[in-house]
Structure 1
């Protein structure tokens, strides 16, 4: 509402209209908000400078990502990102499926998400996957998760990413693999959520068996 200064009879009218003092707080609030908006914008531009191109690529590929600070030697050095719903361990992201497929369908599903069936390279990785998987289906008597290891092409075990098949990175159950003439796909085999065996639990199965799957892709650094 516009207000004017009151003029006593017989006095000259003021040269300028005077604003109501009630408008002053609104002018102050608008000014503060404008300054804060400009400050936040400048901070965001500076923060993402140098990594914006990679960040934009993550946004444009249609996948929703979850990023956390990447801290090295006590200092933050950018961000590490995994797709939402995946779990990070070291420099890899992992996905545990909630549905079952054959081995070929499982690998195709992982590939469709820009990943592949997991390739296990160390005891630490094996233990991480086992402990995570056994806690998902707590009431199941046994659960199997396909990994990226097969022998169905030439009878020799091969990883999907061509990682050499090393004895040091094998975690077969005692007596496995067996029946190689038929069972040519590998899976992590968990017998109940109280299964204490964190290392030797791989089992070879028929490749058309419907199992859960574990997909893997590299962590994105921005």
Structure 2
């Protein structure tokens, strides 16, 4: 009798099982649909935002293209643009020539004049900075210094530039204990050291790299002349 009852219940249990499975599948399908709808809404929102950004960008591009034709045509204006001859270096509107040949101070000055310039006159701390840093690159060793246009040959202790102007007391870059007007070993140079040279291979503290030396000593030199002022074209300045 018990086996007969269990046989009668089996179809009912099977039906309940299939019903449960069907309900679960239906619920899962509903959840998937809800999730898909939410993702679709997010995509639509993202699409609308992209379209809005694109419209704004195109509007800016159109605005630029309509403004550009109203700009004035190319015009030539005087601009602080300077040119130097080949072999010369431009800085601050001036041209500098760092010689390879070693000569006395006077010979070096003649060579600079022949090139249309003169031995350099240092007018500012900025110019001294440029030259001091540049010489660190071109000097071969400690004594490979360069003549500058400074001398006290006319009056001992009164340092003047090659153009005749006096040395500015606020723009002196003498190395420590310089100028010392050394007369040489056993006084072999009674006239002393009357010409200025500059340069420190390893760099100078506070730019102080001027030294007095015998004017007859062979050294390289720095020539200087004004740069040729040019013009530059500017569009829609």
Task: Report TM bin, short chain.
Answer: 0.5 to 0.7
How far apart are 1:161 and its partner, in Å? 1.2
For residues 149-168 of structure 1, the aligned pairs below 5 Å read: 149-155=150-156, 156-168=158-170
**Cα separation, partners in 2 of 1:117 and 1:198, compared to 1, 3 Å:** farther
- From the two aligned structures, give the one with the greater helix fraction: 2
2:50 corresponds to which residue? none
- CA deviation profile, 1:4-49 (whole Å, cap 9, x unmatched): xxxxxxxxxxxxxxxxxxxxxxxxxxxxxxxxxxxxxxxxxxx9xx
Q: Which of 216, 221, 224 pairs up with 1:208? A: 216
Map of 1:4 onto structure 2: none
Contact 2:103 2:220 in 1 (8 A): yes
- How many residues get paired? 147
The answer to whether the Cα contact below 8 Å between 2:132 and 2:204 also exists between their aligned partners in 1 is: no
Question: What is the DSSP-based 3-state SS (H/G/I as helix, E as strand, rest coil) of the residue aligned with 1:83?
Answer: coil
Contact 1:183–1:204 (Cα < 8 Å) also in 2: yes
Task: Give me the whole-angstrom Cα distance separating, in 2, the residues matched to 1:166 and 1:125.
Answer: 14
- Identify which of 129, 132, 136 aligns with 2:131: 129
**Contact 1:126–1:198 (CA under 8 A) maintained in structure 2:** no
Alpha-carbon distance between aligned partners in 1 of 2:79 and 2:124, rounded to the nearest angstrom: 26
Q: Which has more strand, going by share of residues?
A: 1
The structure, 1 or 2, with the larger RCO (C-alpha pairs under 8 Å, 6+ apart) is 2
Tell me, in whole angstroms, the C-alpha distance in 1 between the residues paired with 2:84 and 2:180: 36
Cα offset for 1:121? 1.1
Structure 1 segments, 4+ long, off by >6 Å, are: none
Alignment root-mean-square deviation, CA: 2.1
Q: Tell me the alpha carbon deviations over residues 50-90 of structure 1, each in whole angstroms, 9 at most, x when there is no partner.
A: 9xxxxxxxxxxxxxxxxxxxxxxxx7738521111111111
Gap change, CA 1:142 and 1:195, over 3 Å in 2:
farther
TM-score (norm 2): 0.57
Q: How far has the Cα of 1:182 moved from its partner?
A: 0.7
Q: Distance in 2 between matches of 1:78 and 1:89?
A: 11
* Separation of aligned partners in 2, 1:188 and 1:118: 11
Measure how far apart 1:154 and its partner are: 2.3
TM-score, length of structure 1 as denominator length: 0.61
**CA distance, structure 2, for counterparts of residue 142 and residue 124 of structure 1:** 24
Q: Deviation of residue 136 (structure 1)?
A: 1.2
Whole-angstrom distance in 2 between the partners of 1:77 and 1:91: 11
